[in-house]
Structure 1
């Protein structure tokens, strides 16, 4: 897996006394700095990548009583790989000999007010997190750092994706003169849940509590015409999803077959199981794993659209593909019909 690290020099304003307006100059070696890295390349929806990350939010505590030094503080900078300065909106400096623990995240342009960090457990919690396709959720919890009197190096933050992605790919081999619309692509699954990330040596342990959460509708929208000559007859739609068990989850959609003038020929509703049974490293059967994209594919042609049936069943097979990571290329083999 290709990784491109980058270091962010974070210049912080000097601390000012609460009883005085005097500003005290501090040695640059004592300024807390950060180096960051977004783990895994990303390629769809509104993903956070090395190319578009320009801010993150950080928590920080020090000493055995874990005195707060940062509480959900914004850190601004330029694009990843640019060696320019990244500046927190709150000043902080290293205290010699103290042990520090940090937790950072990015969840879109605005601060998440429902996130907390417990330094004693090195655990970050996102309470009742609601998925939004316009923002990715990444988190970094580095190893604790002991401050030096001088020459303190940046804190290396390696960010990991907390969400999964589900992608539906529709193929069509009919004549381009026909129109095949795929509409009402929906999945009922847990959409709001509490997620936690706990420090581990290799990468954070990410867990979502979905047991007490109710299922809601993920709407994947409409593909106007998968029979058009576009991208080798392949059309896709993607959503961020809460990582969860998928043994009992299904997708439903409507396929409408029309002639070139738009006159409807036939229309049918389909449903299919989303049970993942792939074996890509890092994934688990029957689950959507954080940081993986699950691609479910099917070929829909006019010949399988039967308006005499109320509902038709499609079957998926899933294979995981390295990517975001891409965890599931699901081929829907020969959709079957039920009365």
Structure 2
């Protein structure tokens, strides 16, 4: 089994700011607006959260924002990260309601995440960090996190708050490739990723703006283990056709994690092919991932495990060909053409 590791691209896409007015005329420079950026993933069919998915109706992101007046210790919550007023969504620009406004004599700090979660994240103003307690991954949901500049934003110099979202989970893909000839029917069912740790607490590092990144050390992982299953069931009939099984997983060390799936193969006339000496036509295959070169899954990285299913998978011997010799030409005697007439001769070695 070949394994390939892909890293997230560094490209960033910018969006225009939110400037929304109500009936009472207010200076636009006093409105707290947001820009959103998302670090691009490798080109995959299941990208998880992207800038495009954030902009889809009802999605967006949730903002934490606090204000601290000069020479005072207490902080005021401006965006609480959970209610409707903290939900920023895309229209013609990024917007939210009701609108908040900059106050001049103080410092703001902001953080954000997506999508909406069943748990309640918190935000620490002093450390510029978010905490996601007892986060549980279902294998299908990507988690984005973002922090504005850690030194805070002065209310006397208001600007649009720029977020660069980072992927807090690892993306693990299994690509099943048909290695049989055309018209043979390859059935792959009961695909399971087993012994995966699914629960942990994430505390962001406080410096995600710019080059900052989530590391595995930002996760406190519990030992709750689950299995993720692809219940679709697939049939591949064309050589090199593919099926993808994607999972978004808490970053972790690969210990006893394994991939399991069941395979059967049928000829075009719908008869099953015997896959071993015992004449079994259905085989369950278990692949321990710890045997590969990748020993841990890192936040923000996408991993693609490629599995080509062919007769070799079951120890069957391929039909092979070889060439041992190509015979020489039979040489004729040299012939002279005299007066336009040539005699027919036989080969030297008839």
Coarse TM-score class (shorter-chain normalised) = 0.7 to 0.9
Deviations, residues 124-166 of structure 1 (Å, cap 9, x unaligned): 122222324553211101214332435x221110000111111
| 1:273 paired to 2:307 | no
The aligned runs of 1:68-83 (5 Å cut-off) are 68-72=77-81, 73-78=86-91
Deviations, residues 198-237 of structure 1 (Å, cap 9, x unaligned): 2125224342222x331011113355223x127x333322
Aligned residues: 282
CA distance in 2, matches of 1:297, 1:148: 52
Q: CA deviation at 1:120?
A: 1.8
> 2:137 corresponds to which residue?
131
Q: CA deviation at 1:46?
A: 5.7
Is contact 1:39-1:158 (8 Å) kept? yes
Q: 1:244 to 1:259 in 2, by over 3 A?
A: same
Higher relative contact order (CA 8 A, sep 6+): 2
TM-score, scaled to structure 2: 0.72
Unaligned runs of 5+ in 1: 15-22, 79-83, 279-284, 308-339
**What secondary structure sits across from 1:304 in the alignment?**
helix
* Aligned partner of 1:187 among 183, 190, 193: 193
Q: 1:111 to 1:11 in 2, by over 3 A?
A: farther
Is contact 2:41-2:47 (8 Å) kept? no
Q: 1:113 to 1:298 in 2, by over 3 A?
A: closer
> 1:52 corresponds to which residue?
53
CA distance in 2, matches of 1:154, 1:69: 15
Bigger share in strand: 1
> 1:312 corresponds to which residue?
none
| 1:61 paired to 2:66 | yes
Is contact 1:101-1:142 (8 Å) kept? yes
Q: 1:140 to 1:243 in 2, by over 3 A?
A: same
**What secondary structure sits across from 1:95 in the alignment?**
coil
Q: CA deviation at 1:12?
A: 5.5
Q: CA deviation at 1:277?
A: 5.8
**What secondary structure sits across from 1:135 in the alignment?**
coil
* Aligned partner of 1:153 among 155, 159, 177: 159
C-alpha RMSD over aligned residues: 2.7
Bigger share in helix: 2
Is contact 1:267-1:306 (8 Å) kept? no
Unaligned runs of 5+ in 2: 1-8, 274-280, 317-350
CA distance in 1, matches of 2:284, 2:117: 41
Q: 1:111 to 1:93 in 2, by over 3 A?
A: farther
* Aligned partner of 1:291 among 286, 289, 300: 300
TM-score, scaled to structure 1: 0.74
| 1:217 paired to 2:238 | no
> 1:163 corresponds to which residue?
169
